[in-house]
Amino acid sequence: MNPSDLQAKLIEAARKEPLQDQVPYAFEKRIMACLASLSPLNSWALWGRPLWRAALSCVAITLLCGIWSLASAPKGDNSDSFAQAFERAVFASSDQHLEDIW
Amino acid sequence: MEPTDAELIAAVIQGDTASFEPLIRKYQPRVFATARRYARRESEVEDIVQEVFIKAFQKLRGFRGEAPFEHWLMRLAVRTCYDFLRAHQRNRETSFTELSQPETDWLEQFVAEPSRADEHAEAARQLIGRILGRLSPSARLVITLLEIEERPVKEIAEITGWSVPLVKVRAFRARAEMRKILARITKEKYM
């Protein structure tokens, strides 16, 4: 027996098989129910992922900026000297005036 | 007057989900018939059809209306069936279990007198179903589309997304794969 002949015969049998297109009762309702449950979920899923990415990158940038500002800040506390320098600058002219009077 | 496919699709895209229901009702028999060619259990068939329509709903914005909606949907259906076959590749029959009595009788009749073996016989259909179940996903897809549904190679290339030469190569391999299975059955039984 030649397998090619058997193959041709079986394919012929498959071709002659009538289409089985029967549909279970109210199947479209089942799909519509699925779609109804999927729709809001999808819109959240659509927005959720980019929003999470944006939030994570914002946190990362904030942390980097914080670390950078801490690292670049001067080591010693020179707030006092700045205040003294400011005071000197403000009262410089009045000091000069007082010296002239004396 | 019933709305046309284009009107229904436009309404769905505008946000009217309910307009998708008439489209399902209209095309589900064809999608069921396609799915039954690739899946045996009815629960699997229903899952495939459901997935096809959900995908169609989600991708509806991508439908440009250049071809009829039915063609677009059937392409989606065949691709979903192929994905199903690939996902269930491990579950396919790897060895031929004992042939049923009607299958054996049909084969014996074919061996004795090939021209008298009836192609309409239920046993022949069962046998081809089991042989298709043993083929690799691509072989099963190409045999179904090319040999059983008798679609042209160009159309198969469009449906599957494969190139025309690839369809031809896969068809050649699929026929060889099928002959190998048949040779094994007949060797076990009649030699």
Q: Tell me the domains of chain B and their CATH numbers.
A: 1-91 (1.10.1740.10), 95-191 (1.10.10.10)
Residue A54 lies in a domain: yes
Q: Name the DSSP class of B96.
A: P
User: So what's the pLDDT on residue B185?
Assistant: 79
Residue A34 lies in a domain: yes
- Residue A76's pLDDT band (cuts 50, 70, 90): low
Report d(CA B78, CA B76) in Å as an integer.
6
Give the nearest partner residue to B182 out of A3, A20, A23, using CB atoms: A3
Comparing A37 with B10, which gets the higher pLDDT? Answer: B10
Nearest residue of chain B to residue A35 (CA atoms):
B54
Contact of B103 with B126, CB cutoff 8 Å:
yes
Q: Decide if B28 and A27 are in contact by the 8 Å CB cutoff.
A: yes
Give the nearest partner residue to A28 out of B25, B131, B132, using CB atoms: B25
Residue A50 lies in a domain: yes
For chain B, the straight-line distance linking the first and the last C-alpha, in angstroms and rounded, comes to 65
When pLDDT is averaged across residues B31-55 and rounded to a whole number, the result is 94
Residue ranges of B 115-154 with Cβ closer than 8 A to chain A: 117, 119-121, 124-125, 127-129, 131-132, 143, 147-148, 150
Q: Decide if A5 and B114 are in contact by the 8 Å CB cutoff.
A: yes
Looking at the structure of chain A, the number of domains it has is 1
Report d(CA B118, CA B145) in Å as an integer.
23
B66 Cα to chain A: minimum distance (Å): 26
Contact of A27 with B29, CB cutoff 8 Å:
no
Specify the length of chain A in residues. Answer: 102
Residue A8 lies in a domain: no
Residue A9 lies in a domain: no
- Residue B34's pLDDT band (cuts 50, 70, 90): very high
Report d(CA B12, CA B103) in Å as an integer.
49
Report d(CA B174, CA B156) in Å as an integer.
14
Residue A6 lies in a domain: no
Q: Decide if B148 and A15 are in contact by the 8 Å CB cutoff.
A: yes
- Chain B residues with beta carbon closer than 8 angstroms to that of A27: 24, 28, 46, 49
pLDDT tens-digit map of B130-144: 889 889 999 999 999
Give the nearest partner residue to B125 out of A5, A14, A23, using CB atoms: A14
State the sign of the Cα–Cα–Cα–Cα dihedral A91, A92, A96, A99: positive
Lowest mean pLDDT among A48-57, A76-85, B174-183: A76-85
- The domain of A54 spans 24-69+78-101
Q: Decide if A28 and B29 are in contact by the 8 Å CB cutoff.
A: no
Contact of B147 with A11, CB cutoff 8 Å:
yes
Count of A-B CB contacts under 8 Å: 95
Given a cut of 60, is residue A21 above it in pLDDT?
yes
One-letter identity of residue B141: L
Residue A83 lies in a domain: yes
